[in-house]
């Protein structure tokens, strides 16, 4: 399931973040790449301990935990602290699959990367190239969203970032360990949750809503790992 989550940050917030990122000291993006990924990765990244990366990451997690669309689709159990990167002219990241397990620096806790996410801090007209290409069950999907918007997709997906040929592409990325490991099960629960919410608006007193809601929670109980 590939999902667009709009407006996680306002235009004013994005502008302030961008100003800070443009003045930041960047490191080579290979610092957080695995052995195979490092050979394909050509970008810049804020170190995990960088105060700006921590500030942006904390704000993102706070927004995500109060975002109904993310909570319903991801069913999050753990979130790897968001990282921030930059692709300038010539920057790219070839096809790869993210490491299955990530461990935040300085932590003993491990996170299984069921879901990958990218939040854009640059608008599409500010740079050429830089599309996030994701290979999913419907073929190759190209993603280039407005600043402040986020895409959520399975961590098992083969994906890449096309070369940036003009401007700079600023973004944050992170991984989520879901309570429900299988993407197909999460997708079914997400669709059912959306249907329940819509029916609650359209026919709030219909007795079948109790049955449908009960079925949702029984499926979640069957599939969840907590």
Return binding residues: 96, 98, 159, 169
- Count Cβ atoms below 10 Å from residue 92 Cβ, excluding itself: 17
Residue 135, classed as helix, strand or coil, is: strand
**What stretches of 8-57 adopt beta strand conformation (E)?**
27-28, 41-42, 44-45
- Which helix (H) or strand (E) is 139 found in, with range? strand 139-143
| Percentages (nearest 5) of helix, strand, coil residues in the chain | 35, 30, 35
The annotated binding site for Fe cation is made up of 96, 98, 159
What CA–CA distance (Å, rounded) separates 16 from 18? 5
CA angle 120/157/57 to nearest 5° reads 35
Provide the CB-side half-sphere exposure for 101 (13 A, CA): 4
Q: Residues within the annotated binding site for 2-oxoglutarate?
A: 169
């Amino acid at each position: 399931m590939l999902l667009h989550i709009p407006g996680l940050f306002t235009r004013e917030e994005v502008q302030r973040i961008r100003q800070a990122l443009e003045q930041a000291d960047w490191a080579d993006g290979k610092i957080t790449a695995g052995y195979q990924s490092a050979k394909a990765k050509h970008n810049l990244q804020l170190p995990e301990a960088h105060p700006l990366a921590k500030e942006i990451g904390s704000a993102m997690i706070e927004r995500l935990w109060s975002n109904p669309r993310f909570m319903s689709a991801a069913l999050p159990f753990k979130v790897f602290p968001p990282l921030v990167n930059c692709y300038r002219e010539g920057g790219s990241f070839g096809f790869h699959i993210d490491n299955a397990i990530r461990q935040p620096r300085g932590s003993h806790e491990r996170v299984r990367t069921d879901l990958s996410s990218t939040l854009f801090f640059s608008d599409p007209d500010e740079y050429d190239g830089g599309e996030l290409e994701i290979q999913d069950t419907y073929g190759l999907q190209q993603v280039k969203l407005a600043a402040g918007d986020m895409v959520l997709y399975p961590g098992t997906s083969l994906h890449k970032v096309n070369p940036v040929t003009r401007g700079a592409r600023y973004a944050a990325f992170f991984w989520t360990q879901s309570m429900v490991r299988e993407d197909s099960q999460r997708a079914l629960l997400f669709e059912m949750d959306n249907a329940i919410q819509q029916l609650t608006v359209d026919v709030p007193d219909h007795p079948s809503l109790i049955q449908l809601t009960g079925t949702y929670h029984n499926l979640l109980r069957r599939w969840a790992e907590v």
